[in-house]
Amino acid sequence: MPAHILSIDDESEIRELLRDVLTASGYRFTGVSTAVEALRVVRADPPALIITDLQLEESDGFELIDELKVVAPRIPIILLTGVLFDPEVVNGAVSRKIAAYVEKTAPLERILQTVKQHLPA
Amino acid sequence: MILLLSGATLLVLTELNRRAVERILIEQAEVQAAIATNAVTEGLDGVAGGAERMARYVARELTGRVPGREEAERIAARVVLDNPNVHGFALAFEPAATGAASARLGVAVHRSRRVEGTDTFDLTAPEQTYWTREWYREVIDKGHVVWSEPYFDRGGSERNAVRVAVPVFRHETDDRTPIGAVAAVIDLDWLRRLANVNEFSDTSFTIIFSRSGRLILHPKATYMIAETIETLAEKTNTPELATIRQAVLARRQGAAAYTEPVPHRRVHVNYKPAKTAGWGVIVGYDEAEFLKSQTRYRRITALFIGSLLAVLSGIVIWVVHTALRPLAALAAAADEIAKKNLDCAVPEPVRPDEVGRLTAAFRNMRDALKHQSLERRWAAQAVEHQNRYNQLIIDSIREQVFVLTKALNISRVNPAVLHATGLAEVNLVKAPFARHVRLADGGEVAAVLGAALKENRALRDLPAILRGKDGGQQSSWLSLVPLCDGGRVVGGVVTLRDR
């Protein structure tokens, strides 16, 4: 049974690219664009890993992360955003809530490695 | 192609070999036929010639005298008993030869149907009248040896027979005025035995024909006496037989081959004229019998080649199915990849051989290309996203932002500039910055900004005036930050804030 990965991003192209690379790597992929959809998926079909953007249509990633941590505190979350943070900022602001922070400018290979690192074997 | 060439070469070589072997086999058969022909001819000359010699001997012994009836009967009986192939012997004389004009002498002794017995006939009897018989008249008239045509000796031996008649002369030196004749009737059954003895194969046969062409011996007993070479040639549609007879008449021997239509068979014959009586001998055989082993070899070879081709075809089909077809699928996939379709299907690498390894390598290559393509798309969207985000940030700034080249021309502005000046972007970009902004203290803006950029130095809150579209002016604070790329100043960013 392939691991289920949930991606939340308001840009459809990002979701499509993630779908291509993650399904090619053998994962089951669900992509949504809003926090509401994300919470619904988490309750109905709990993923093994969540990848979320910071800027969403109806909320932001920080709020969503907080809500996800309430609903599914054990699911690792990777913050994937084009908003560049200083690593110190990340450590101070969200490091306790997320498993990893990856910039959207990072190559897919690194994103994939990060995913593999935080998925149970 | 290689398979076809190999097959064709094999067939040609096999065919050449077959012809060579067939030639050798036929030559061997022809030698045997020639030997048999000579043996039959010599046997014929031995028996028939012997009968003629014996008749000549008797005729010579009687030269100049006419024996009494008893002596004549004794001579005839002795000849018959001493010569197993002679069925009967006759002596007959002209009336004048006996010394009494009205007296005739003619006796014949035939082998009796009883064991070792003989029957004696008076040829002067009313039912005989030898002087009217053809055999006698011909010898008397011609004065030389006469061989009769073969005939069925009805009422006599009841067998096929031939007669040789020899004239008896008055003097030894006289060969013109016969005074009588002696004749030997030769039973032809010995010819059958002679032919049988000289058979050299299952299909070999012997034909003997007389000077006139009448068949004396033939494998089909019904043809004997009844048919001639010519009628046989016509009946069996083999004109070669008539040609052979002409050759024999011309005293030539030789060999020939012809095809009998019914039953269809290829026949080889050897022919030779006999010394006796102008007869001819033909010994022949069926070609198929001598090529039987070769025919069997051909069938085996054909079977072998057929099997070989079947196996090779099987291998070709197997290769096409197991090697070429997967390669064709890979070629099709390569075409799809060349068309940038990286989601194309590539066969599963299920085989452990080179084709399997090639398939696996092909899948890896496709996956790598796909991954590379995804990376490129990801990188492109990342750059685009970043640019858009940066632009959003710039656009959201309420202060007027000018991006200047090193020569102090405007390369980019934010919406706040457009709003403040009332100008379109196209009127601003590439225009000198000094055209739209001047320093409030009257200093040369280009000189001040140029010096700052040269020294990689920032300027902060210089009083300046921004000119608008309709000549309107806006008092502002001007700040400059050098735009550096790798430590080198490539331009500057000017912000104007309301004063």
Quote ipTM for the complex.
Answer: 0.85
pLDDT tens digits, B375-407: 888 888 888 888 887 888 888 888 999 999 999
Residue B265 has pLDDT above 80, yes or no: yes
Q: Which among B370, B381, B389 has CB closest to A24?
A: B370
Whole-angstrom distance, CA of residue B7 vs CA of residue B91: 78
Residue pair B130/B145 in contact (Cβ under 8 Å)? The answer is no
Lowest mean pLDDT among B36-40, B229-233, B355-359: B355-359
Relative orientation angle of helices B354-396 and A108-117, to the nearest 10 degrees: 100
A and B: number of Cβ contacts within 8 A:
41
Query: What is the pLDDT, as a whole number, of residue B102?
Result: 56
With pLDDT > 90 as the criterion, what percentage of chain B qualifies?
A: 42
Q: Which residues of B touch A20 (CB under 8 A)?
A: 370, 374
Query: What is the pLDDT, as a whole number, of residue B15?
Result: 80
Provide mean pLDDT across the span A53-65: 81
Whole-angstrom distance, CA of residue B182 vs CA of residue B136: 9
Which of A83, A84, A108 has the highest number of chain B CBs within 10 A, making it the mutation to test binding with B?
Answer: A108
Provide mean pLDDT across the span B84-92: 91
Query: What is the pLDDT, as a whole number, of residue B94?
Result: 86
B228: its two tokens: 């001639």
Q: What is the pTM of this model?
A: 0.52
* Residue A24 to residue B379, Cβ atoms within 8 A: no
**Closest residue in B to A13 (Cα–Cα):** B381
Q: How many helices (H) and strands (E) does chain A have?
A: 5, 5
Q: Which residues of A touch B386 (CB under 8 A)?
A: 82, 104-105
Give SS3 for B404: strand
CATH for A4-118 (3.30.300.30, 3.40.50.2300, 3.40.50.300, 3.40.1580.10): 3.40.50.2300
With pLDDT > 70 as the criterion, what percentage of chain B qualifies?
A: 96
Give SS3 for B443: coil
Q: How many helices (H) and strands (E) does chain B have?
A: 14, 18
Cis check: omega of the bond before B263, within 30 degrees of 0:
yes
Whole-angstrom distance, CA of residue A72 vs CA of residue A70: 6
| A82 lies within 8 A of chain B by CB | yes
| A63 lies within 8 A of chain B by CB | no
